[in-house]
Copies of this chain bind each other. A is one copy, B any other.
Amino acid sequence: MSPSTIQDALRATNQIFEEEVVRKRNFQALERVYTNDARILPPGAPMVSGREAIIEFWRSMIEGLGVEDGALESVDLIVSDVITEIGRASLNLIDGSRVEAKYVVTWKREDGSWKWHVDIWNMNA
């Protein structure tokens, strides 16, 4: 697929989320947005696995918050050979407390080494 064809395909899926899911609250349309074994990593909550659980998450979130409409905007796409890592991180602080986070890292090879290319994280609680 050419880059513009891929962009169009991705935009079409994002529009299902904007129009069907958020605006019309047709949560079954999430079957066309998420893969069957998708995972979401929301801030302030543990990871949610599988499309059925994800549908319940968004139903509860969108109805609970009272979301009226929403917009998704692509900032960048990385279509070359990458690896996605889902992980957990824990940091111990000098004051004795501990920070727990979950993350998604997109890995890319640079100069023969695999490195972190996109790195996003949030907390479970």
Contact = CB atoms under 8 A, between A and B. Distances in A.
A90 B73 CA distance: 9
Interface string A88-112: 1111111100010011101110100
Contact of A119 (B34, B69, B121, B123): B34
Interface residues of A, number: 66
A87 to B, nearest CB: 5
Contact of A93 (B13, B66, B122): B66
B65 A88 contact: no
Nearest to A62: B91
A8 to B, nearest CB: 10
Nearest to A17: B116
Most B CB within 10 A of own CB, among A72, A86, A88, A115: A115
A68 B103 CA distance: 20
Nearest to A75: B86
Contacts of A95: 66
